[in-house]
Structure formats: C-alpha cells, structure tokens
C-alpha cells in the first residue's frame, strides 16, 4: 500500500478535474454546517460578495438588511450601507468603529465643496452637502452595523485585496487612496500597505471573536474574490501583484477555517479561475465575472450549504423585498468602489 491508494477520487487531478466536464468539477471539501431558512444571513467584502447576497434572496433565504432605502443610493447592496470592504483590517475596524472601540482621527474628506466619508467614499454620489449631514448619516449607519452584528446568524465574508491605504496617524484603513474620490484634511498622511498572511489571519480571527461576543453561535463562511486587482500601488506588475494578493488571502482563509470552530472556506475563487474553465466565466476585461460564472458558483454553494428543510415564514425584516428585486434589475451592475481608480 502507498498513502494515495485509499484517497478518494477528489484527491486526484485526473479524476476530479481533467477528465470531467467543467460543470461537473466540484472542489468543495468538508462542510461543517448548513444554512437554514430561518438563519439570518449577512454578507460583506469585495464587490463579488454582492452576487452571493442576490443569489440567496433569489432562492428564498433570508438576507439581513438593517439599513434601508433606495438601491439607487446604495442601500440594500449589503446589510448596512458600508460599501465594499476589501481587506480583513477594514472588517475588523468596521466592528470597532460601530461599537465605540475605535474612533479614527480622520473623519471627513472633501472635494469641490462636498464632503465624503473616507470609509465609504462613494455611498453618496457627489458627497454630502454639509459635514453635519455626513455625521448624521454615519451615526445612523453605524447603528445599522451594530444591529447587523447583533442579529446575523451567518456571516459570509469575501476577501478581495491585501493592498490598502493606512493613516499614519492612527492606522485607520480606507478603501480608496486619498485623491481618487476626495481629499483628506491638509497635513493628513496615508501610506500604501500590503497586508501579510499573518496580519490577515489575525484580523479575521479578531473580527470573528468580537462578533461572537454578541452572537456566540455565529457561523462564518470565507471566500476569496476571483476578481483581479484593477491596479496596484506597488512596483510589481499588476499580474504578479494579483497573484500575491490572492495567494495571501487564500492561505489566510484556510488558516482561519482550520483554527476557528464553525468557520468554513468556500472555493468561489477556484471555481471561476480554475484551469478547467479557462476564461469562459470572465468577460473580455478578464475581471468581470459573467452571469454563468456566478450561477456556477451559486449552484455549487447551494448544493453544499443551503438546507432544503421546511422553515417558518420569514419575518418582515428578513423577507426578500420584491421592490428591491425590481430595482436590482434596474441597477444590475455590481458596485465596485475600486473601478473609479482606472476611469
């Protein structure tokens, strides 16, 4: 006997990838839990996370929305109107800001007489009219974030990037560099940061542990976005920068899933970018995931993680909103803050 003779077919490239039709390749391994129809599900992360929330609602699963308003103003894209959360440090700091554990020194950016929230710079097209309008909206927003963490039974977080912009004053991380959408106050300095595996692991584990103070039984699913960097702030070629970023995120997700109970890794990255699919799930820009790719990811996800057992009727706050579905059709494009970098 050699150590491979007792391995299942899924352990062999020829049997699990090369000889199969691409649609038959299913890279999901151990599934530690399933999502039931009475679980309130929250999503956060990079722009690819928006596909997951839409697919859950289409399948009749309760998607938690704690901050409501018209989709044309970015409400309902995520549970609260926090926009894209590209790095694990952003997720950790979102929790800390919502519960008064961290108050960044730099709170308002500006451009052309308008005022912008540096932590969600494109939430309001054209910015807020006054600093007081911004502060009032942020206060209600962070209240909605608190309700999200207090209510969610499942959190699906899509890791998108390792690159971020960090305040030299207090370490606050923003999703877009100064000057891309708006400018920080004079004298404020931000530096480019490329987070390591260990930093990403630590940030994820700290965020999960804080969330579980409120929800001890919180289940977490980590995914890695298959969308490459739109640009890098470093001196590498963008292809190499993308490879590094996705490798770090993939290793970090695996490490956290192995170290924390009720944390799973779902291979959306592998399903879209695997060699067995070539480029068939990507648009001509080699970044945009086509609808058939999203469908393949969600079909595999549903097969393993979505329970089909009967459940009580959805509460009003968790019920999929027909008007929101109509608006989703009207505003079909996924909202990606980073796209403004390359305009």
90 close to 193: Cβ distance less than 8 angstroms? no
pLDDT for the residue 47: 82
- Max intra-chain CA distance, the chain: 74
Sheet hosting strand 41-45, strand order edge to edge: 41-45, 154-159, 219-224, 263-265
Q: How many domains does the chain have?
A: 1
Residue 205 belongs to a domain: yes
Q: How many other CB atoms are there within 10 angstroms of residue 5's CB atom?
A: 6
Residue partners of 290: CB distance under 8 A and separation at least 6: 280, 281, 282, 283
Q: Which domain holds residue 212?
A: 29-342
Count Cβ atoms within 10 A of the Cβ of residue 314 and give its class: 0-12 exposed, 13-18 middle, 19 or more buried.
Answer: middle
Residue 23 belongs to a domain: no
pLDDT for the residue 52: 81
Residue pLDDT, tens place only, 251-276: 999 999 999 999 999 999 999 999 99
Residue 4 belongs to a domain: no
Q: Which residue has the tokens 């530096």?
A: 191
Q: How far apart are CA 124 and CA 70, in angstroms?
A: 12
Q: How far apart are CA 168 and CA 138, in angstroms?
A: 23
CA 230 to chain centroid, in Å, comes to 16
Six-digit token pair at 210?
């804080």
CA angle 69, 73, 79 (to 5 degrees): 55
Residue 194 belongs to a domain: yes
The three-state secondary structure class of 169 is coil
pLDDT for the residue 96: 98
Q: How far apart are CA 42 and CA 219, in angstroms?
A: 10
Report H helices in 83-174.
88-98, 131-151
Residue 60 belongs to a domain: yes
| Angle, helices 131-151/197-214, rounded to nearest 10 degrees | 80
User: Tens-of-pLDDT digits for all 343 residues of the chain?
Assistant: 899 999 999 999 999 999 999 999 999 999 999 999 889 999 999 888 888 888 888 888 889 999 998 877 888 889 999 999 999 999 999 999 999 999 999 999 999 999 999 999 999 989 999 999 999 999 999 999 999 999 999 999 999 999 999 999 999 999 999 999 999 999 899 999 999 999 999 999 999 999 999 999 999 999 999 999 999 999 999 999 999 999 999 999 999 999 999 999 999 999 999 999 999 999 999 999 999 999 999 999 999 999 875 333 333 344 344 444 434 333 345 677 778 888 7
Residue 21 belongs to a domain: no
Residue 174 belongs to a domain: yes
């Amino acid at each position: 006997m050699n150590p491979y003779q007792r391995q299942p077919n899924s352990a062999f490239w020829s049997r699990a990838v090369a000889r199969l039709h691409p649609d038959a390749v299913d890279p999901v391994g151990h599934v530690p839990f399933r999502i039931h129809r009475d679980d309130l599900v929250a999503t956060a992360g990079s722009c690819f996370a928006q596909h997951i929330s839409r697919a859950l609602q289409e399948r009749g699963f309760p998607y938690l929305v704690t901050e409501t308003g018209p989709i044309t103003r970015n409400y309902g894209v995520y549970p609260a109107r926090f926009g894209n959360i590209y790095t694990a440090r952003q997720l950790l700091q979102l929790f800390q800001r919502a519960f008064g554990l961290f108050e960044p020194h730099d709170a308002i950016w500006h451009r052309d007489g308008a005022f912008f929230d540096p932590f969600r710079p494109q939430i309001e097209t054209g910015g807020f009219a006054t600093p007081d309008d911004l502060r009032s909206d942020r206060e209600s927003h962070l209240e909605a974030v608190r309700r999200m963490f207090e209510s969610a039974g499942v959190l699906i977080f899509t890791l998108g990037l390792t690159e971020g912009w960090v305040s030299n004053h207090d370490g606050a991380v923003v999703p877009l560099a100064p000057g891309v959408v708006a400018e920080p106050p004079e004298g404020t300095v931000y530096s480019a940061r490329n987070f390591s595996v260990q930093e990403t692991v630590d940030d994820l584990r700290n965020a999960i542990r804080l969330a579980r103070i409120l929800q001890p039984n919180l289940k977490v699913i980590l995914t890695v976005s298959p969308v490459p960097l739109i640009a890098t702030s470093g001196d590498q070629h963008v292809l190499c920068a993308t490879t590094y970023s996705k490798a770090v995120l993939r290793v970090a997700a695996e490490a956290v899933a192995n170290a924390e109970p009720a944390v799973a890794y779902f291979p959306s990255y592998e399903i879209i970018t695997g060699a067995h699919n070539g480029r068939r799930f990507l648009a001509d820009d080699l970044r945009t995931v086509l609808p058939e790719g999203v469908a393949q990811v969600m079909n595999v996800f549903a097969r393993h993680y979505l329970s089909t057992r009967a459940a009580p009727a959805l509460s009003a706050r968790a019920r999929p909103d027909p008007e929101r579905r109509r608006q989703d059709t009207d505003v079909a494009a996924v909202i990606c803050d980073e796209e403004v970098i390359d305009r």
